[in-house]
Amino acid sequence: MMKLPVLPPEEDEDILRRAGFIDVELFYAALTFKGRLACKPAREEGT
């Protein structure tokens, strides 16, 4: 059985930002579970 690694909160945010997300916000936290909300700007057509 494979297990997901538990990453530090800073690394979670860094992964989202490197994927192009902006305004990364923590909206839920309980024990080891965290929920984040992030926006990704729309790409312009032709790029």
Asked whether residue 4 is domain-assigned, the answer is no
Calpha distance 6→37 (Å, rounded): 18
* Strand partners of residue 37: 25
6 token code pair: 């538990």
pLDDT, tens digit, 9 for 90 and up, residues 3-19: 888 888 899 999 999 99
Q: Within a domain: residue 33?
A: yes
Within a domain: residue 1? no
Domain that holds residue 24: 9-39
- pLDDT of residue 44 exceeding 80, the answer is no
In a domain, 2, yes or no: no
Percentage of the residues of the chain whose pLDDT score is greater than 70: 96
Q: How far is CA 44 from CA 21, 22, 40, 41, 47, in A?
A: 15, 16, 12, 9, 6
**pTM for the full predicted model:** 0.70
Report the alpha-carbon distance of residue 36 to residue 22 in Å, rounded: 11
Confidence (pLDDT) at 45? 72
Look at residue 46 in the predicted model and tell me its pLDDT.
66
Cβ-contact 40, 22 below 8 angstroms: yes
Domains contained in the chain, number:
1
Report yes or no on 24 lying in a domain.
yes
What number is the average pLDDT over the span 7-36? 91
